[in-house]
């Protein structure tokens, strides 16, 4: 019997939020409460300025969530028609399009990075296409240059769902400054944590101005709303948590990358397991550690065995968005074939990863996986 079989890994949750030390924000929270300015005040401004400086962008706007941020960006860009999105993403990417009365058109992903493929976009871009909304899936940067080239050639706006990607780098450049705008999420399992929240970053002055109005119902201050906006403001309390989270972001991203490297080393002997490719010069946040299992693997059985050992997993992203009930049978017709997405979503398995996870826990999870595949090989050989 392999040693890993005898190791009791104990309960290993999929993710644990990295919350700042309460003592580090206590004074700030007290000051906020005493001031009576509970939303959209100086703490939010400080967060916006610090993030804009860090990412080297002209504007950062804090909002209540990434979903409302995406909705606002698309509304502010005043689009009509279709927006090309990946199907291999979280549902909110497409929801933001649909909530604007726009039609999401699903395009295939790249088999290596699992992010939206420029060639896939090119295949589905029709005359009604107005924009591309691509996701930095799991924090792996998209092919930002390829998508930008295509968007410019086709005359499309380009936006990024950067929910997973605060701290990601593309060719050494921080995610946040690409395309017409990018939107981050600050929920508990994201690299930068506010509790709930989002950040819109853009170098487009006009778009920033409209998003600023839009997060406040479309009201520029005179109560004569210029367009139908939202309440998408961030509270001062959430901004205080985000500012504290920002203090440790670099160490935490380093830790996530180190744990991913250890996973890759420990799983290397398993024939056919692979990881999303992060290209040279790029950095991922590994917001999720999704691996691709060998095509022949019995994923359901592996999940069951890991679950029995107390190891929590998910299948991000299965089902892909175009096959979710919200997007089937809605009169939009069948999506074009998405062979890479279909193949990838059958093989994905998301493994536990959080910053305080120990090396022993990583080894324990990998040990269990190796035991599973060793047994499969023995059964096949028998």
Ligand X SMILES: Cc1ncc(COP(=O)(O)O)c(C=O)c1O
In the complex, the residues that contact ligand X under the rule CB under 6 A are: 65-67, 89-90, 92-93, 135, 161, 163-164, 185, 187, 198
Q: How far is the CB of 4 from ligand X (least distance, A)?
A: 31
Q: Which is nearer to ligand X, 136 or 368 (CB)?
A: 136
E-state strands within the chain:
59-63, 82-86, 103-107, 129-135, 157-161, 169-170, 173-174, 181-185, 198-202, 289-292, 348-351
Report the residue count for the chain. Answer: 382
**156: its two tokens:** 């499309």
Q: Which is nearer to ligand X, 136 or 347 (CB)?
A: 136
Q: Which residues of 160-179 are buried (b: 16+ CB within 10 A; e: fewer)?
A: bbbbbbbbbbbeebbbbbbb
Burial class of residue 346 (count of CB atoms within 10 Å of its CB; 0-12, 13-18, 19+): middle
Backbone angles phi, psi at 43, to 5 degrees: -70, -40
Q: How far is the CB of 232 from ligand X (least distance, A)?
A: 10
Q: Which residue, among 259, 272, 349, 290, has the nearest Cα to 115 in the 3D structure?
A: 290
Q: How far is the CB of 69 from ligand X (least distance, A)?
A: 8
Q: Which residue, among 178, 121, 127, has the nearest Cα to 148 in the 3D structure?
A: 178
Q: How far apart are CA 125 and CA 129, in angstroms?
A: 6
Q: Which residue, among 126, 75, 141, has the nearest Cα to 102 in the 3D structure?
A: 75
Q: How far is the CB of 345 from ligand X (least distance, A)?
A: 15
Q: How far is the CB of 330 from ligand X (least distance, A)?
A: 20
Q: Which is nearer to ligand X, 135 or 361 (CB)?
A: 135
Q: Which is nearer to ligand X, 92 or 309 (CB)?
A: 92
222 and 215 in contact (C-beta within 8 Å)? Answer: no
Q: How far is the CB of 242 from ligand X (least distance, A)?
A: 12
Q: Which is nearer to ligand X, 89 or 113 (CB)?
A: 89
Q: Which is nearer to ligand X, 164 or 283 (CB)?
A: 164
């Amino acid at each position: 019997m392999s040693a890993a079989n005898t190791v009791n890994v104990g309960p290993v949750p999929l993710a644990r939020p990295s919350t700042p030390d309460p003592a580090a924000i206590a004074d700030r929270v007290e000051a906020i409460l005493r001031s009576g300015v509970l939303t959209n005040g100086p703490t939010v401004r400080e967060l916006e300025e610090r993030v804009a400086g860090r990412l080297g962008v002209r504007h950062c706007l804090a909002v209540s969530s990434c979903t409302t941020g995406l909705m606002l960006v698309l509304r502010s860009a005043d689009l009509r028609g279709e927006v090309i999105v990946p199907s291999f993403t979280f549902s909110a990417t497409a929801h933001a399009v649909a909530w604007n009365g726009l039609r999401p058109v699903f395009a295939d992903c790249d088999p290596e990075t699992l992010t939206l493929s420029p060639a896939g976009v090119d295949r589905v871009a029709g005359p009604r296409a107005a924009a591309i909304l691509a996701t930095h899936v799991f924090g792996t940067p998209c092919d930002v240059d390829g998508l930008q080239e295509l968007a410019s050639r086709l005359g499309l706006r380009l936006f990024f769902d950067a929910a997973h990607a605060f701290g990601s780098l593309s060719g050494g450049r921080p995610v946040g400054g690409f395309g017409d705008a990018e939107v981050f999420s600050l929920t508990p399992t994201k690299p930068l944590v506010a509790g709930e929240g989002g950040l819109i970053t853009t170098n487009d002055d006009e778009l920033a101005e409209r998003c600023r109005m839009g997060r406040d119902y479309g009201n520029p201050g005179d109560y004569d709303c210029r367009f139908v906006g939202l309440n998408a403001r961030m509270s001062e309390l959430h901004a205080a948590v985000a500012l504290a989270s920002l203090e440790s972001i670099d160490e935490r991203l380093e830790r996530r990358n180190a744990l991913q490297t250890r996973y890759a080393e420990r799983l290397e002997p398993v024939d056919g397991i692979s990881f999303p490719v992060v290209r040279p010069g790029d950095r991922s946040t590994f917001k999720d550690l999704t691996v691709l299992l060998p095509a022949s693997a019995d994923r359901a059985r592996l999940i069951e065995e890991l679950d029995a050992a107390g190891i929590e997993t998910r299948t991000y992203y299965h089902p892909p968005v175009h096959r979710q009930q919200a997007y089937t049978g809605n009169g939009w017709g069948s999506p074009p074939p998405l062979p890479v997405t279909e193949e990838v979503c059958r093989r994905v398995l998301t493994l536990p990863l959080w910053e305080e996870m120990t090396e022993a826990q990583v080894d324990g999870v990998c040990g269990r996986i190796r035991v599973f595949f060793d047994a499969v090989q023995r059964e096949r050989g028998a």
